[in-house]
Amino acid sequence: MRKQISSLADAELPPEKEDFRKTFQWRIFRIMAEFVEGFNFVADFKKSVTVFGSTVLKENSPHYQKARQFGELMAKEGYMVVTGGGPGIMEAANRGAYEAGGESVGINIRLVEGERANPYLKKSIGFYYFFVRKVMLSFASSGYVFFPGGFGTLDEFFEIVTLIQTKRLPNNVLVVAVGKDYWQPLFDWIRSGLAGTHKTINAKALDIFKLVDTPEEAVVLVKNNSNNKTFDISE
């Protein structure tokens, strides 16, 4: 005779269905899909320059205005201006390109509160994983221009420099920092500390990046760079 269930507490409830979207296998496929989508997105970038910088600097900041001017000048030279698609310096560079009638592109990140896309993008793509987005930004252009920023900007700067140093990107990929008031102390320490006192880097590594003070100087370097094509992602 079957045992009679006297209450709901005595019943064996069916196992809770697992959300397969949280499994390791699903994450792997999601990562793969983002890489495929991302590389398809950047594959057609030909004459482009990528701009990095702070998300918090507003329109009244001199650095914002310099980034805006840089974006405008690059657009007038026929360059696509690529950023992380967010506010601050990214908005400024996109804004300059957009207002000049050029190609303004954002490679964004999807956050819990949604994408923080600035309103000056003509084309954009959003990623769930930060590391996928970083790879796309690293392969988007042959020139990378850095305006003042926080940890994220510094992270991207050293990432690009490391990729060039380790030959994961060509030696003629351009890295330019704009704003001596911000960058000079850091570069002095790199020269005197890393390459000098401690010798943790080869002095030749200092040639990977350039420091300028104006948007016009950065534009000249981008134009004169020997490689004006996007790095071949198949290499």
Residue-wise pLDDT tens digits, 11-32:
455 566 667 667 888 889 999 9
Architecture of domain 48-224: 3-Layer(aba) Sandwich (3.40)
Residues near 138 by Cβ (< 8 Å), separated by ≥ 6? Answer: 159, 160, 163, 169
pLDDT given at position 12: 57
Residue type, 113: E
pLDDT of amino acid 23: 81
Q: DSSP character for 42? A: H
Could you tell me which residues come within 8 angstroms of residue 116 by beta carbon, excluding any fewer than 6 positions away?
55, 85, 86, 87, 108, 109
Contact 104, 81 (CB under 8 A): yes
Domain definitions of the chain by residue range = 48-224
Q: Taking a C-beta distance cutoff of 8 angstroms, is the pair 141, 227 a contact? A: no
The SS3 call for residue 104 is: strand
Can you tell me the distance from the alpha carbon of 178 to that of 187, in angstroms, rounded to the nearest whole number?
12
Global model pTM greater than 0.75: yes
How many CB atoms sit inside 10 A of residue 95's CB? 23
CB 76 within 8 A of CB 215: no
Q: Which residues of the chain have pLDDT under 50?
A: 1-3, 5-8, 11, 228-235
For residue 109 the two structure tokens come to 């990140």
**Nearest Cα to 147, choosing from 174, 175, 178, 176?**
178
Query: What pLDDT shows up at residue 113?
Result: 62
